[in-house]
Structure 1
C-alpha cells in the first residue's frame, strides 16, 4: 500500500544520516557492519519494512543481531526513522532503496537471514515477474545470503504463498519450516507481528509462513 507523500521526510533523513542511508549510494556493499555499534554481530535484512513494527520488534527482542530495514517508500521509512530517533536501537539501520536491486547494495554472503513480510501479491499472471519470490529475485537473495542463510516469508495471500512454494522449490531452495496457519503453530509464541499481520489476524484471516535456504 502506497502512503501519502510526507514533505518533512527529506529534512529528517538529512538530519539523521547516522541512522539511515539512501540509494543510490552503493559503497556500503560489504561494509554494512561498520554502520552498527557492534560490527561483529550478524546482519539480517527485511525488504519492505512498511511502518517498521516488525523490524523494530525484532531489534528489541534480539540485541545479539544487527538489523536493516529496507523500504522503497520515503513516507514509510520516515515513520520508522521517527521511532528510531526516540528508541536509539544500536542494532537497527534504515535503508531507503529498492529491494529489486539488493545485489547492488549488499556483498555476497553479507546477510544472515532475509525477511519478506506481506509483500505485494501481484495477483495477475502478467505481473508474476514483480513478485518478490520470482526466480530472479530469489537468485539475488541467494547471492547476498550466507551459506544456509534463510529466506523467511509471511503472507495472508494464499495464492502468493502457493506460488512462492513452487518458485522456491523450482529454484533449488529447501524448506525448513512451512505453516498454513502461523498463529496456531508452535512458532506463534516467538512470532513478531507486522502491522498488516495484526490487522488481518484480527479479521480471522489465516497467516501463511515459510523458512527456506538455498541448496546448491
Structure 2
C-alpha cells in the first residue's frame, strides 16, 4: 500500500503532540500516565482513515483510545477525522492518541497487561497461503495481543473476508481462546446502531456484503465474567415462569 502524503505532512503531525504520537516507544508502560488517568485503554490496530477510533472515542469519554497505523498520511487523515468527530459529538481529544508505528513490533510500545481491548477492523486478508503469517489473526500475532492485554482483555474482530474469518476462527480455537457474539452477517437485519462502523463497513454493508464479527475473551477476569453471565442465563431459562 502506497500513500502519497501532502507536502509538509511531517511538520503537520509534529504540530499536534497532544494527539499524534510519533515516538510511541517512549510511552511503553506509561500510557496511563500519558492520558493522565487510570481508565481502560482500547487500541485499534490498523486504523485506516480513523473514522472508527475517532467516533468511538468521542462517544465514550470514560475510555482511553489509541489508533495505530504506520503511514503518515493515514495519521494525518485520522487527526482530521478526530477533530471533526468532536464538532459532531462534542467533547475534547484528551482520551485519544494517534500513533505512527508498525504493529508487528507491538511489544515495543506496550508493557504486558497494559491494554484492555484490541480492535481489528477489516485487516488485510493476505489471501495467498504463503502470506498467512502476515494476517493479523495469525497465532503469532494473537500471542502478541495476549501478552499486552490485561485481566479484562478482549479482542474485537470484524472483516468482510469469509476466508480470513474462517482462518481466524481456527487460529483462536487452536490457542484455546473462548469466543462470543460470533456473527456471519452482522447487519443482516439492518445497521447495528449500537456499534460504530468503519468506512469499509459502511460501504460493504450498503452493497449487501455480509460483515463477519467476533469477540475473543482473553483476560482471566473477562473470562470469569463471561462464564458467570452464561450461568445466569441458564439459571434464568431453567426457572419456572412467575405467575
TM-score by length of 1: 0.92
Q: Equivalent residue for 2:183?
A: 179
Instruction: Provide the secondary structure at the position in 2 that maps to 1:209.
Output: strand
Q: Following TM superposition, by how much is the alpha carbon of 1:214 offset from its aligned partner in structure 2, in angstroms?
A: 2.9
RMSD between superposed Cα atoms in Å: 1.9
Instruction: Provide the secondary structure at the position in 1 that maps to 2:99.
Output: strand
Instruction: Provide the secondary structure at the position in 2 that maps to 1:79.
Output: helix
Give, in whole Å, the separation in 1 of the partners of 2:189 and 2:134.
30
- Asked whether the equivalents of residues 51 and 82 of structure 2 are also in contact (C-alpha less than 8 Å), the reply is no
Give, in whole Å, the separation in 2 of the partners of 1:11 and 1:108.
33
Q: Following TM superposition, by how much is the alpha carbon of 1:3 offset from its aligned partner in structure 2, in angstroms?
A: 2.9
String of CA shifts for 1:39-80, please: whole Å, max 9, x gaps. 121110000001111001111111110000001111111111
Q: Equivalent residue for 1:30?
A: 29
Call closer, same or farther: CA 1:78–1:52 in 2, change over 3 Å: same
Call closer, same or farther: CA 1:100–1:57 in 2, change over 3 Å: same
Q: Following TM superposition, by how much is the alpha carbon of 1:82 offset from its aligned partner in structure 2, in angstroms?
A: 2.6
Give, in whole Å, the separation in 2 of the partners of 1:215 and 1:166.
19
- Where in structure 2 are there 5+ consecutive unaligned residues? 87-91, 221-243
String of CA shifts for 1:132-185, please: whole Å, max 9, x gaps. 001110000000001241110000000000000001110221102200111136
- Asked whether the equivalents of residues 51 and 199 of structure 2 are also in contact (C-alpha less than 8 Å), the reply is yes
Q: Equivalent residue for 1:93?
A: 97
State the structure with more CA Rg.
Answer: 2
- Flag as ranges the 4+ runs of structure 1 deviating above 4 A: none
Give, in whole Å, the separation in 2 of the partners of 1:145 and 1:138.
10
Call closer, same or farther: CA 1:176–1:19 in 2, change over 3 Å: same
Q: Is 1:194 matched with 2:198?
A: yes
Give, in whole Å, the separation in 2 of the partners of 1:185 and 1:154.
17
- Asked whether the equivalents of residues 112 and 146 of structure 1 are also in contact (C-alpha less than 8 Å), the reply is yes
- Asked whether the equivalents of residues 174 and 215 of structure 1 are also in contact (C-alpha less than 8 Å), the reply is no
Q: Following TM superposition, by how much is the alpha carbon of 1:30 offset from its aligned partner in structure 2, in angstroms?
A: 1.0
String of CA shifts for 1:103-153, please: whole Å, max 9, x gaps. 110011111000000000000000000000011100000000012411100
Once the two structures are overlaid, the 10-residue window that deviates more, 133-142 or 26-35, is 26-35
- Where in structure 1 are there 5+ consecutive unaligned residues? none
Give, in whole Å, the separation in 2 of the partners of 1:26 and 1:185.
43
Give, in whole Å, the separation in 2 of the partners of 1:215 and 1:109.
9
Q: Equivalent residue for 2:231?
A: none
Q: Equivalent residue for 1:45?
A: 43
